[in-house]
Amino acid sequence: MGKNKFLNNVAKVTLSTLLSASAVTMLSANAGFAPVTDADIANDAKTVEDVVTYGLGQKGQRYSSLDQINKKTIKDLVPVWNFSFGGEKQRGQEAQPLVKDGVMYVTASYSRMYAIDIATGEEIWQYDARLPGAILPCCDVINRGPALYQNLVIFGTLDAKLVALDRKTGKVKWKKKIANYKDGYSYTAAPLIVKGLLITGNSGGEFGVVGQLDARNPLTGEIVWTRPMVEGHMGTLNGKDNGITGQTNATWPGDLWKHGGAAPWNGVTYDPDADLIYVPTGNPAPWNSHDRPGDNLYSASRVAINPDTGKIVWHFQTTPNDGWDYDGISEFVAFEYKDKNGKMIKAGATADKNGFFYVLDRVTGKYIRSTNFV
């Protein structure tokens, strides 16, 4: 990665190298814009002409069935074009691009969004969020990518807002506040579309925020349900109270649960078979674990949520009373395998910052095994 050039993670921006010349021509941005449907999102892992979800499919497996790149041909893989995000704002880049109808949608540092012609590498449009000077991003000014739905491209900003842009023009269609950035909130994850809902979390656990997952109408940005990730806080459904998370003071002493951290800052995955959203959560707050005795649920956990109600179905905490900033934010990737008796197991796996690789039953949350990898 040169100083003035950016080639995103293993030549993701050179998608045309994976395709024949005729396929690249078909992917031209002049081919028109088809709405991104729920069916497109559900089938993303099976289609090779586009990438419409973060993780290349809601399960987060990032597996492509493209067969032109293999052990014999990978030596011939070369860049076709590169694109610079440029200037003083060229900071850390962690975004996964999305591709639809010949256009790549990719976010950049400082809450910027680009639409790029996949065949030529030319910029189609650019959107720059107007960020206030007092934002509080904990860990660099990055963004992990957008979501596509219908004719919208949606992403979050460092001042804890969501912005929906017209895919073709880059014009703002709606903008909503997630939380007050002055209270330490920000946003860095890629949203995920689940059953026609826009699923987003928040960032800012280091500043004592309350981690929360939200489900919105992606066409309007209006809230459908909320689910706090710290015990004692009330969730909502369609504007009404929907039960508190956990049990107040069960694993948090005194009033510490009121500012408990556990921000889901790395995004979520979803399994349509189990019909569950899997939410990795971050570190508890405050930092000093001796000041908050107890497990501090639901920090440093994987939490399974019903997408229709926003209710917690199960949880698995990987580091109770986390005092090392291990978090629990590594993605929960859904997959199947056969056990020693030949039974097919619906599992999920997560590689944790505490150094263990966990495998769970993704339907029930039951522990299956763990292996230390460091």
Q: What is the distance between the alpha carbons of residues 41 and 39, in angstroms, rounded to a whole number?
A: 5
Intra-chain end-to-end CA distance of the chain, in Å: 28
d(CA 275, CA 308): 9
Cis amide linkage into residue 298, ω under 30° from 0:
yes
On the 0-12 / 13-18 / 19+ scale of CB atoms within 10 A, 180 is exposed
DSSP letters for 125-143: EEEE----TT---SS-S--
- Give dist(CA 315, CA 306) in Å, integer: 12
**Is position 325 annotated as part of the catalytic site?**
yes
No. of helices (H) and no. of strands (E), the chain: 2, 22
**Catalytic residue (choose from 38, 275, 308, 325):** 325
From residue 332, give the alpha-carbon distance in Å to each of 3, 183, 245, 267, 361: 34, 29, 21, 10, 11
Q: What are phi and psi of 277, to 5 degrees?
A: -95, 130
Q: Please say whether the beta carbons of 205 and 188 come within 8 A.
A: no
d(CA 229, CA 203): 12
For residue 261, give the 3-state DSSP assignment. Answer: strand
- Which residues are CB-neighbours of 78 under 8 A, at least 6 positions away? 14, 17
Active site residues: 325
